[in-house]
Structures are given as structure tokens and as C-alpha cells.
Structure 1
Amino acid sequence: MSALPLALLMVGVVVAVAFVGRPLIQAATPLLTRFPRATVLSLGGGLLLWMASVIAAGLFLAWALTGPSPLPAPMAEVCQRCLEASNPFASGVAVETSVPSVVFLLAPALALAVVMVLGLRSVFKRHAQLRTTCQTLLPVGRRKNVAGYQVTVVADPQPAAFALGRHSCGIIVSTGLLEALDEQELRAVLEHEAAHLRERHHLILDFIGSITGPLRWVPFAAAIADAVPHYLEISADNAAQRKVGTRALASALLIMGDASNAQRTATQQSGPQRMMLAAGPERVRQLISPADPRQGTLGAMAIFAIMTVLVVTSTAAHGAAIAAVVTGCAI
């Protein structure tokens, strides 16, 4: 059996996920919203699985297609022996092309290596911004225990609260927030921010951002980059809702949502800050009257089916390659 049909199928699935992943994630939203922490884990895992599948597709193409080798003869012989040893297809028949097989192996790996380098660079940049923000806020703020939470209070008439990482500035609140909210509303806001710190949401955002930043042109990666912060906010809202109640949290969101457009713009532009501002009525509606999760069942089932295909094909490809290396590429 020739590997070419399966190789083309693998490439087709990888490309299809890149484009249909976004609408499927959106379609599954009503169901995914009920399980925000599991959703974040699944989306992150799905992104890594897709990247592994890109490399697996290269392996399938290398098994299915052959061409002239640009490598020196001894190295080419070793690579060819390893490639043949890892090929799980019995016939081992490959279609002749003018493209060297090594291109199918190295091109995806090099592309993903570039993605990782660019992603780490963006993480370091965000951390530098975070340090600058902390160095700016801490000297002008004052540490205070508010409703049982240690916070830094800064003078600002706009009601705002955000968390800057567990080992950085911690929770920052404005004087406007203390004046605008009653005790229960304030507890809800602070519990929300404390949940961000407890659950290491800033590290999750760093991880997702490091991968999706250079892959924004891929709709699937862009959808994950947009969705993960949303589900982290829902997870923090759920923590505040369990501890303080729905009414206090919803009321606080509405009050904070009345902040000026200038404040909203500043929030969106402050990279490392995790501001808690109501994103229109949708966030309050999610608290009071969440969507019926059954509406997202078909989208979630479609995502699960596609991910299952990627798991099976990627495991087969990477497993065969690893087994060949472990056995010394013995045919």
C-alpha cells in the first residue's frame, strides 16, 4: 500500500483544522463555558497537538515521496536507512519527486522552532513590561489589607482592579474602586483577582501567547489566543461567585463597566496588566443567565472527532519514528 493517499489525507486534516478550528470553537462556546478550566487545558493541548501534527504530516510526506538527497553520501545513507526503518507501510513504495525527502522532515520542524524562538522573545518582552509597570506603580501606591486581601492602592478616580502576577505586584486597586463599591462588591472583585493569582493565569497566558503570537495568521491559533483569556476570566468569575455570590459580582461588573472609554482603551493597551472590566453585558449575562450548554454540543463533538484523528495519526507517525531511532534504525 502506498503511503501517498494517507500522507495527503494527513496534510488535508492539518490544513482543515487550521481553518475550521475557529468556527468550531465558537460553536462549542455554550458548552465550553460551563467548564472553563478544562476548556483552557483542552485548547492548550489541542494547539500543541496541532503543532505535533504538522511535523507528523512532514513524516508522512517523507515516507510517501522521495527525491534527490542534498546531503553527503554517508549522511544520506544513514538518513535513508532511518526513514525506511520508521516507515510503517509494508510496501515502502515512494513516489519519485524532485524535492528531497529531508525537506519534508526539516521544514516543519524548523518552522516550529522559529515559532518557539519568537514566542519566547515575546514572553521576555512582556515580563520586561511587567517589571516596568511594577516599578511605576509600587512607589506611588500603598500596601493595605482590604476585605482580607493584601493589595496595593493607587490614586485613580476610575474603578479598576487587576493582578500583575503572584511574584510581582500582586493585586492593584484604584481609590476609585474603593469608593465605588460596597463591601460585598469589593470582596467579589478581589476574590476574582485572587483567583487569577492562585490559578497562575498569568503563566497560562504567557504559555499560550508564546505559541499563538507568531501563529496569529493561522485561524485556529488565533481563535485559541482569543478564547483562553475569556475562559480564564470566567474561571475567576466562578471563584468569586462561589465565595461571594452572583449579585455582588454582577453589580461590581456593571459599576466597573461604566468606566470611561479612555480607561478601557488604556486597559487594552497595557500588555501585562489583567484588568477586570466588564466586557459589555455579555459577562453579566453569563453570570445571571448562562447559555444552554446543549447548544454547543455539536461543535464540541466535532472538535473531539478532529482531535481524535490528530491523536491517532500523530501517535502513529511519531511512535514509528521514535521506535526506529531507539532500535538504531535497523530495518
Structure 2
Amino acid sequence: MNSLLLAFLMVGIVLAVATVGRPLIRAATPMLMRFPRVAVVSLSGGLLLWMASLVAAGLFLAWSITGPSPLPSPIADVCQRCLEASNPFSSGLAVETTVPSVVFLLAPVLAVLVVAAMGLRSVRTRHARLRETCQSLLPVGRTESVAGYQVTVVADPQPAAFALGRGRCGIIVSTGLLEKLSAYELRAVLEHEAAHLRERHHLILDFIGSITGPLRWVPFAAAIADSIPHYLEISADNAAQRRVGTRPLASALLIMGQASNEQRIAAQRGGPRRILLAAGPERVRQLVSPLDPRQGALGAAAIVALMAVLVVTSITAHGAALAAVLSGCVI
């Protein structure tokens, strides 16, 4: 196959995943909901793989297109040697253009670095907001042991509970929650929140948020950013369900659902994507009558097929580049 054709095919696959990824994730929802932990790992890995494939697509284009170099002579010579050493295609097949090949090589790399820098900045911002939330809640709350868990109780008539995954903030509950839930319902809520902390869900949200924040304009990244918090909630529900049972958890979610909108607003103000909520009556259906995972088999299979293509092409590109560097092309 012509190297330029293969390069454009690679670019097309990357763009296709970016656009059709959202509907495919939606179509795979029944399957992903059945295995929420697998869903979180797969979607997170898929996002990283897509970014790696973006760089790989630049490598394919750099191998297939040649042009004048804007770099100084010593650097240009090194880049040219490395490109030639890493090129898995036959020599002499590059297409002459007025666009320097280094543009295709460096543009995606710079884009990934910019995303990483913006992501780190957003993580620091969320940590600062979380510290403010902790500093505002801890002085007005009291520490108690409830159902075997150490929690901070704040005065609020609404039945509310959330987990702050940082240091001694831990699980926050309202006085309304203690008053309106039975002992079994209360334990179910605390088991849910403890699962968030135990499984380090906040770190996962930090990681995903740092990547997807600057990439919200990409449908695939936006779908992952919206889906993963939902699957983390289902994972925590499953953990609580195994320990306490379905009825207490479902009953607690229904009671707390009346305050879910207020909790979401508070979460957004106190630290977006760092507060995991226990409320949400929409999750009761998943507990009581989960969707048949076979309904999402086709969407999941399509996602796996696309990811497999990205894996092969990324390994080809990055493996060839790494082999060239290790062989001493920069010397």
C-alpha cells in the first residue's frame, strides 16, 4: 500500500474515532453499565490510546511527505536521519510538498503537551477549590462514628452525603440524612461513599478531568468525561449493594433524590468533579432492574474494533520511532 495513502487512512481513523466515539459509547451503555470498573479502565485507556494515535498519525504523515526544513542545519540533519531510520516504508516514496515534514511531526506532539499542561493547571485549581471546601465544612461540622465509619456531620435539613477524596475531609453527611434514613439505609449510603474513597475514584476523576478538560470540543473525549463519573457511581453502588443489599440502597437513593439537584449545585461550586454524590434516583433502576448487557454488545464490539486498529497503528509508528532512537539516529 502507498505510504501516503496509509498515512491519510491513519488520519481518517483518528478523526473517525473522535467523531463517532460518542454514539458508540452511548450504544455500548448497557454493556458498560454491567461492568463499570472495566468500563472506566477501557474508556480511560481508549482516550490515552487516541492521543497516542494522534501523534502516530503525525509520524505517518512525516514519513510520507517531505519539504523544506525550517530548522537550523544541525537540528534538521538529526531530524532527517531519525525520520529515515524510523521509516518502515521503502525509501523514495515520500511526496514532495512545500509543507515541512517536521510540521506533521511536531504539531501533534505540541498539542499533547499543551493538553497535559492545561490539565495539570486544572488539577491544581480543583485541589485549591477542594481545600476551600474542606476549610469551610470542617470547622462547622462535628466528627462522629456512624455505622462504623468516621464522618463529618454538618447541620443541614436536606438528606445529603458526599465524599471528598482528600486527607481528613473524607465522608460528609448532613443532619437531615441522619434523621431521615433508617440504620440500614444509612449504612448503605456510607458503604457507597466508602467505596469511592477505597477505590480512589477521586484520583480517577482528577486524571480524566485533566485530559478531557482541554479536549471538550472533541466528541469522543467529551463522551468519556461525561460517562466515567456515572460508571464510578455505579461501581460504588455495586459495592454497597454487595455489602448491604439492594433494598436499603435503593430506598436511600429515592429519599435522597429530592435533594440531588441542590447537591449537584453545591458540588459544582465546591469543586467540580471532585465531589462524588450518593444521591440520584435515576440509578435505582440499574439496581432493581439492570439493562440486559447484550443490548450494548454491538456498540462495545465496534469500540473494541476501532481500538484494535489504533493499537496496531500506534505500535507500528511509535515502535519504529523508538527503535530508531535506540539505534542511535540522534548521534
TM-score band by shorter chain is over 0.9
Partner in structure 2 of residue 156 of structure 1: 156
Structure 1 residue 192, shift from structure 2 partner: 0.2
Percent of pairs with identical residues:
77
Question: Aligned in 2, Cα 1:307/1:191: closer, same or farther, shift over 3 Å?
Answer: same
Q: Which residue of 2 aligns with 1:78?
A: 78
Whole-angstrom CA distance in 2 between matches of 1:39 and 1:166? 24
Q: Is the 8 A contact 1:84 1:92 kept in 2?
A: no
In the other structure, the counterpart of 1:276 is 278
After TM superposition, list the pairs within 5 Å mapping 1:141-290 onto structure 2. Answer: 141-259=141-259, 261-270=261-270, 271=272, 272-278=274-280, 280=281, 282-290=282-290
Question: What are the Cα deviations for residues 171-211 of structure 1, in whole angstroms up to 9, with x where unaligned?
Answer: 00000000010000000000000000000000000000000
1:35-114 counterparts in 2 under 5 A?
35-114=35-114
Instruction: Give distance in 1, aligned partners of 2:83 and 2:121.
Output: 34
| Counterparts of 1:210 and 1:56, CA distance in 2 | 22
One-letter code of the match for 2:230? H
Stretches of structure 1 lacking an aligned partner (at least 5 in a row): none
Counterpart Cα distance in 1 of 2:263 and 2:312 = 48
Normalized against structure 1, the TM-score is what? 0.97
Number of residue equivalences = 329
Asked if 1 retains the 8 angstrom alpha-carbon contact of 2:154 and 2:174, the reply is yes
Shift of 1:264: 4.5
Paired amino acid for 1:193: E
2:131 aligns to what? 131
Structure 1 residue identity aligned to 2:305? A
Question: Deviation digits for residues 301-320 of structure 1, max 9, x if unmatched?
Answer: 00000000000000000000
**1:325 Cα deviation from its structure 2 partner:** 0.5
User: What one-letter code is carried by the residue in structure 2 that aligns with 1:159?
Assistant: P
Give distance in 1, aligned partners of 2:77 and 2:265: 59
Q: Which amino acid aligns with 2:164?
A: L
Contact 1:85 1:329 in 2 (8 A): yes
Partner of 1:31: 31
Report if aligned partners of 2:233, 2:276 keep a CA contact under 8 Å in 1.
Answer: no
C-alpha distance 61-125 of structure 1, shift in aligned 2 (>3 A): same
Check conservation: 1:158, 1:263, Cα contact below 8 A: no
Change (3 A) 1:31 1:73: same
Amino acid at match of 2:138: L
**Residue aligning to 1:313:** 313
SS at match of 2:17: helix
Q: Which amino acid aligns with 1:274?
A: L
Q: Is the 8 A contact 2:215 2:221 kept in 1?
A: yes
SS at match of 1:172: strand
Name the structure 2 match of 1:15.
15
In 1, are the aligned partners of 2:3 and 2:93 still within 8 Å (CA)?
Answer: yes
Amino acid aligned to 2:113: A
How far apart, CA to CA, are the structure 2 residues paired with 1:43 and 1:261? 27
Distance 2:15 2:260 in 1: 42
**Partners in 1 of 2:130 and 2:310 — Cα distance?**
37
Q: Provide structure 2 residue ranges, at least 5 long, that are not aligned to the other structure.
A: none
Q: Distance in 1 between matches of 2:108 and 2:232?
A: 31
**Is the contact made by 1:192 and 1:236 (CA closer than 8 Å) also made in structure 2?**
yes
Deviations 1:26-81 (A, max 9, x none): 00010111111111011110000000000000000000101100112222122111
Secondary structure of residue in 2 paired with 1:139 = coil
- C-alpha RMSD of the superposition: 1.4
Rounded Cα–Cα distance in structure 2 between residues aligned with 1:179 and 1:98: 73
1:268 Cα offset (Å): 4.1
